Structure 1
Amino acid sequence: MIFDRMDAGIVKAMIEAMPAEITVIDAKDEVVGWNKHETRLFRRPMTAIGMNFRQCHPEKSLAMVERLIAEMKTGARDKASFWIDMEVVKGEPKHKMLIEFFALRDDKKNYIGCMEVTQDVQAIRELQGQKRLMD
Protein backbone atom coordinates (compact mmCIF):
# COMPACT_ATOMS: atom_id res chain seq x y z
CA MET A 1 0.00 0.00 0.00
CA ILE A 2 1.33 3.42 -0.88
CA PHE A 3 0.51 4.82 2.59
CA ASP A 4 3.01 2.38 4.12
CA ARG A 5 5.77 4.72 2.97
CA MET A 6 4.24 7.86 4.42
CA ASP A 7 5.52 9.47 7.57
CA ALA A 8 3.10 8.92 10.47
CA GLY A 9 2.90 12.69 10.97
CA ILE A 10 1.64 13.18 7.43
CA VAL A 11 -0.97 10.44 7.84
CA LYS A 12 -2.14 12.03 11.11
CA ALA A 13 -2.33 15.48 9.47
CA MET A 14 -4.34 14.01 6.57
CA ILE A 15 -6.84 12.43 8.95
CA GLU A 16 -7.23 15.66 10.93
CA ALA A 17 -7.66 17.70 7.70
CA MET A 18 -10.46 15.50 6.35
CA PRO A 19 -13.81 17.34 6.38
CA ALA A 20 -15.40 14.60 8.47
CA GLU A 21 -15.37 13.15 11.97
CA ILE A 22 -13.88 9.66 12.10
CA THR A 23 -14.13 7.13 14.93
CA VAL A 24 -12.47 3.70 14.73
CA ILE A 25 -13.18 0.51 16.65
CA ASP A 26 -11.07 -2.65 16.48
CA ALA A 27 -12.12 -6.29 15.97
CA LYS A 28 -12.81 -6.58 19.72
CA ASP A 29 -15.37 -3.72 19.47
CA GLU A 30 -13.14 -1.35 21.42
CA VAL A 31 -12.79 2.32 20.52
CA VAL A 32 -9.19 2.84 19.40
CA GLY A 33 -9.28 6.45 18.24
CA TRP A 34 -10.91 9.41 16.53
CA ASN A 35 -10.02 12.68 14.88
CA LYS A 36 -11.07 16.31 15.47
CA HIS A 37 -11.18 15.85 19.24
CA GLU A 38 -11.68 19.56 20.00
CA THR A 39 -14.29 20.35 17.33
CA ARG A 40 -16.43 17.21 17.08
CA LEU A 41 -20.21 17.41 16.91
CA PHE A 42 -20.39 13.93 18.47
CA ARG A 43 -17.99 14.51 21.36
CA ARG A 44 -16.16 11.65 23.04
CA PRO A 45 -14.35 11.76 26.38
CA MET A 46 -10.74 10.55 26.38
CA THR A 47 -11.91 7.76 28.69
CA ALA A 48 -13.73 6.25 25.67
CA ILE A 49 -10.39 4.92 24.35
CA GLY A 50 -10.38 1.18 25.01
CA MET A 51 -14.09 1.19 25.85
CA ASN A 52 -16.55 -1.12 24.10
CA PHE A 53 -18.48 0.90 21.51
CA ARG A 54 -21.74 -0.23 23.14
CA GLN A 55 -20.90 1.96 26.13
CA CYS A 56 -20.49 5.04 23.90
CA HIS A 57 -23.43 4.73 21.51
CA PRO A 58 -26.89 6.22 22.04
CA GLU A 59 -29.29 3.55 23.24
CA LYS A 60 -31.90 4.37 20.59
CA SER A 61 -29.55 3.31 17.77
CA LEU A 62 -27.50 0.67 19.60
CA ALA A 63 -29.39 -2.41 18.36
CA MET A 64 -28.99 -1.30 14.75
CA VAL A 65 -25.28 -0.60 15.18
CA GLU A 66 -24.77 -3.98 16.86
CA ARG A 67 -26.48 -5.70 13.92
CA LEU A 68 -24.39 -3.71 11.45
CA ILE A 69 -21.11 -4.64 13.19
CA ALA A 70 -22.18 -8.31 13.34
CA GLU A 71 -22.87 -8.27 9.58
CA MET A 72 -19.48 -6.68 8.94
CA LYS A 73 -17.75 -9.33 11.03
CA THR A 74 -19.38 -12.14 9.00
CA GLY A 75 -18.60 -10.41 5.70
CA ALA A 76 -22.28 -9.90 4.84
CA ARG A 77 -21.79 -6.12 4.72
CA ASP A 78 -18.94 -3.70 4.12
CA LYS A 79 -20.70 -0.34 4.34
CA ALA A 80 -23.83 1.32 5.68
CA SER A 81 -24.97 4.91 5.12
CA PHE A 82 -27.71 6.99 6.65
CA TRP A 83 -28.42 10.66 7.23
CA ILE A 84 -30.09 12.75 9.88
CA ASP A 85 -31.06 16.38 10.44
CA MET A 86 -29.10 17.86 13.33
CA GLU A 87 -28.84 21.22 15.02
CA VAL A 88 -25.22 22.32 14.62
CA VAL A 89 -25.60 25.89 15.89
CA LYS A 90 -28.27 26.56 18.50
CA GLY A 91 -31.21 28.43 17.02
CA GLU A 92 -30.12 27.97 13.40
CA PRO A 93 -31.68 25.61 10.83
CA LYS A 94 -30.66 21.97 11.14
CA HIS A 95 -27.92 20.57 8.90
CA LYS A 96 -28.03 17.30 6.98
CA MET A 97 -25.47 14.93 8.51
CA LEU A 98 -24.23 11.92 6.53
CA ILE A 99 -23.11 9.06 8.77
CA GLU A 100 -21.35 6.08 7.22
CA PHE A 101 -19.86 2.92 8.67
CA PHE A 102 -17.07 1.13 6.77
CA ALA A 103 -15.74 -2.34 7.58
CA LEU A 104 -11.96 -2.34 7.95
CA ARG A 105 -10.32 -5.45 6.55
CA ASP A 106 -6.75 -6.70 6.30
CA ASP A 107 -5.08 -7.90 3.08
CA LYS A 108 -6.79 -11.29 3.47
CA LYS A 109 -10.25 -9.65 3.85
CA ASN A 110 -10.46 -10.50 7.56
CA TYR A 111 -12.48 -8.03 9.62
CA ILE A 112 -10.17 -5.90 11.77
CA GLY A 113 -12.53 -3.12 12.79
CA CYS A 114 -15.01 -0.49 11.74
CA MET A 115 -14.69 3.18 10.87
CA GLU A 116 -17.60 5.55 11.48
CA VAL A 117 -17.46 8.71 9.37
CA THR A 118 -19.76 11.66 10.08
CA GLN A 119 -19.90 14.60 7.70
CA ASP A 120 -21.97 17.79 7.65
CA VAL A 121 -23.13 17.76 4.01
CA GLN A 122 -25.48 20.75 4.18
CA ALA A 123 -23.17 23.05 2.17
CA ILE A 124 -22.62 20.31 -0.43
CA ARG A 125 -26.38 19.86 -0.83
CA GLU A 126 -26.73 23.59 -1.50
CA LEU A 127 -24.10 23.81 -4.26
CA GLN A 128 -25.30 25.34 -7.51
CA GLY A 129 -23.61 26.20 -10.79
CA GLN A 130 -19.84 25.95 -10.92
CA LYS A 131 -16.93 27.39 -8.97
CA ARG A 132 -13.48 27.04 -10.45
CA LEU A 133 -10.28 26.68 -8.46
CA MET A 134 -9.10 30.04 -7.13
CA ASP A 135 -12.42 31.83 -7.92
Structure 2
Amino acid sequence: MLFDKMDPEMVKAMIEALPAELTVINAEDEVVGWNKHETRLFKRPLSAMGMNFRQCHPERSLAMVEKLVSEMRAGTREKATFWIDLETIKNEPKHKIFIEFYALRNARGGYMGCMEFTQDVTAVRALEGQRRLVD
Protein backbone atom coordinates (compact mmCIF):
# COMPACT_ATOMS: atom_id res chain seq x y z
CA MET A 1 0.00 0.00 0.00
CA LEU A 2 1.31 3.41 -0.86
CA PHE A 3 0.36 4.89 2.53
CA ASP A 4 2.62 2.50 4.47
CA LYS A 5 5.49 4.98 4.64
CA MET A 6 3.35 7.96 5.65
CA ASP A 7 3.73 9.46 9.09
CA PRO A 8 0.72 8.39 11.24
CA GLU A 9 0.03 12.06 12.02
CA MET A 10 -0.26 12.76 8.28
CA VAL A 11 -2.70 9.83 7.87
CA LYS A 12 -4.82 11.20 10.74
CA ALA A 13 -4.81 14.68 9.20
CA MET A 14 -5.78 13.24 5.82
CA ILE A 15 -8.71 11.30 7.30
CA GLU A 16 -9.91 14.35 9.22
CA ALA A 17 -9.69 16.50 6.05
CA LEU A 18 -11.92 14.19 4.00
CA PRO A 19 -15.27 15.82 3.17
CA ALA A 20 -17.05 12.87 4.75
CA GLU A 21 -17.62 11.15 8.07
CA LEU A 22 -16.00 7.77 8.62
CA THR A 23 -16.84 5.27 11.33
CA VAL A 24 -14.99 1.97 11.64
CA ILE A 25 -15.90 -1.26 13.43
CA ASN A 26 -13.54 -4.19 13.86
CA ALA A 27 -14.16 -7.90 13.19
CA GLU A 28 -15.70 -8.21 16.68
CA ASP A 29 -18.29 -5.53 15.78
CA GLU A 30 -16.75 -2.99 18.16
CA VAL A 31 -16.60 0.69 17.24
CA VAL A 32 -12.87 1.42 16.98
CA GLY A 33 -12.78 4.92 15.52
CA TRP A 34 -14.40 7.81 13.73
CA ASN A 35 -13.45 11.21 12.39
CA LYS A 36 -15.00 14.69 12.59
CA HIS A 37 -16.10 14.19 16.20
CA GLU A 38 -17.20 17.80 16.74
CA THR A 39 -19.04 18.34 13.44
CA ARG A 40 -20.67 14.98 12.65
CA LEU A 41 -24.15 14.64 11.18
CA PHE A 42 -24.61 11.50 13.28
CA LYS A 43 -23.10 12.48 16.61
CA ARG A 44 -22.00 9.91 19.15
CA PRO A 45 -20.51 10.12 22.63
CA LEU A 46 -16.89 9.20 23.25
CA SER A 47 -18.25 6.35 25.38
CA ALA A 48 -19.31 4.63 22.11
CA MET A 49 -15.64 3.78 21.50
CA GLY A 50 -15.25 0.05 22.08
CA MET A 51 -19.01 -0.59 22.14
CA ASN A 52 -20.70 -3.14 19.95
CA PHE A 53 -22.21 -1.15 17.07
CA ARG A 54 -25.63 -2.60 17.92
CA GLN A 55 -25.62 -0.59 21.16
CA CYS A 56 -25.18 2.76 19.41
CA HIS A 57 -26.97 2.37 16.09
CA PRO A 58 -30.50 3.75 15.57
CA GLU A 59 -33.16 1.09 16.07
CA ARG A 60 -34.98 1.92 12.82
CA SER A 61 -32.03 0.81 10.66
CA LEU A 62 -30.31 -1.69 12.96
CA ALA A 63 -31.68 -4.86 11.33
CA MET A 64 -30.44 -3.76 7.90
CA VAL A 65 -26.99 -2.82 9.22
CA GLU A 66 -26.72 -6.18 11.01
CA LYS A 67 -27.55 -7.92 7.72
CA LEU A 68 -24.94 -5.89 5.80
CA VAL A 69 -22.22 -6.59 8.37
CA SER A 70 -23.11 -10.29 8.41
CA GLU A 71 -22.89 -10.47 4.61
CA MET A 72 -19.56 -8.64 4.63
CA ARG A 73 -18.20 -10.99 7.27
CA ALA A 74 -19.34 -13.99 5.17
CA GLY A 75 -17.73 -12.52 2.05
CA THR A 76 -20.97 -12.23 0.08
CA ARG A 77 -20.99 -8.41 0.07
CA GLU A 78 -18.23 -5.83 -0.22
CA LYS A 79 -20.22 -2.60 -0.29
CA ALA A 80 -23.68 -1.17 0.33
CA THR A 81 -24.88 2.23 -0.89
CA PHE A 82 -27.96 4.21 0.07
CA TRP A 83 -29.11 7.77 0.77
CA ILE A 84 -31.54 9.50 3.04
CA ASP A 85 -33.10 12.94 3.56
CA LEU A 86 -32.07 14.43 6.89
CA GLU A 87 -32.97 17.63 8.69
CA THR A 88 -29.53 19.03 9.57
CA ILE A 89 -30.80 22.41 10.77
CA LYS A 90 -34.17 22.74 12.48
CA ASN A 91 -36.88 24.17 10.20
CA GLU A 92 -34.55 24.21 7.17
CA PRO A 93 -34.93 22.05 4.05
CA LYS A 94 -33.65 18.51 4.48
CA HIS A 95 -30.23 17.59 3.15
CA LYS A 96 -29.45 14.59 0.95
CA ILE A 97 -27.10 12.29 2.89
CA PHE A 98 -25.14 9.65 0.97
CA ILE A 99 -24.06 6.62 3.01
CA GLU A 100 -21.85 3.70 2.03
CA PHE A 101 -20.62 0.72 4.01
CA TYR A 102 -17.38 -0.97 2.92
CA ALA A 103 -15.97 -4.31 4.04
CA LEU A 104 -12.41 -3.94 5.32
CA ARG A 105 -10.20 -6.88 4.39
CA ASN A 106 -6.57 -7.79 4.96
CA ALA A 107 -4.19 -8.75 2.14
CA ARG A 108 -5.44 -12.37 2.29
CA GLY A 109 -9.07 -11.28 1.98
CA GLY A 110 -9.92 -11.92 5.63
CA TYR A 111 -12.63 -9.76 7.16
CA MET A 112 -11.19 -7.09 9.45
CA GLY A 113 -14.29 -4.98 9.95
CA CYS A 114 -16.50 -2.43 8.24
CA MET A 115 -16.27 1.26 7.46
CA GLU A 116 -19.29 3.56 7.22
CA PHE A 117 -18.77 6.54 4.88
CA THR A 118 -21.30 9.37 5.27
CA GLN A 119 -21.41 12.54 3.20
CA ASP A 120 -23.82 15.45 2.86
CA VAL A 121 -24.13 15.68 -0.95
CA THR A 122 -26.74 18.44 -1.08
CA ALA A 123 -24.29 21.02 -2.49
CA VAL A 124 -22.81 18.52 -4.96
CA ARG A 125 -26.27 17.71 -6.31
CA ALA A 126 -26.87 21.41 -6.98
CA LEU A 127 -23.77 21.86 -9.16
CA GLU A 128 -24.32 23.02 -12.73
CA GLY A 129 -21.99 23.85 -15.60
CA GLN A 130 -18.27 23.86 -14.89
CA ARG A 131 -15.89 25.55 -12.51
CA ARG A 132 -12.29 25.09 -13.57
CA LEU A 133 -9.37 25.17 -11.18
CA VAL A 134 -8.16 28.47 -12.67
CA ASP A 135 -11.57 30.20 -12.29
Instruction: Identify the TM-score tier after normalising by the shorter chain.
Output: over 0.9
Q: Deviations over 1:45-86 (max 9, x none)?
A: 000010000001011111110010000001000000100000
Measured in 1, the distance between the counterparts of 2:123 and 2:48 equals 30
So what's the TM-score if we normalise by structure 1?
0.98
Cα separation, 2, equivalents of 1:66 and 1:3:
30
**Partner secondary structure for residue 4 of structure 2:** helix
Could you tell me how far 1:16 is from its partner in structure 2? 0.3
RMSD: 0.6
Secondary structure at the counterpart of residue 70 of structure 1: helix
Partners of 2:60 and 2:72 lie apart in 1 by 20
The letter for the 2-side match of 1:13 is: A
**2:45 is the counterpart of 1:53:** no
Matches within 5 A, 1:1-135: 1-135=1-135
Structure 1 runs of 4+ aligned residues shifted over 4 Å read none
Q: What SS does the aligned partner of 2:50 have?
A: coil
- Cα displacement (A) at 1:93: 0.7
Structure 2: gaps (5+ residues): none
What secondary structure is seen at the aligned counterpart in 1 of 2:133? coil
Compute the displacement of 1:92 (Å): 1.2
Q: Structure 1: any 5+ residue segments left out of the alignment?
A: none
Superposed displacement of residue 134, structure 1: 3.9
Q: Distance in 1 between matches of 2:68 and 2:134?
A: 41
SS of the residue aligned with 2:112?
strand
Matched residues in 2 for 1:91 and 1:133: separation?
35
Shift of 1:90: 1.4
Provide Cα deviations, 1:80-99, integer angstroms capped at 9, x if missing partner.
Answer: 01000001111111110001
Over the matched positions of the two proteins, sequence identity in percent amounts to 69
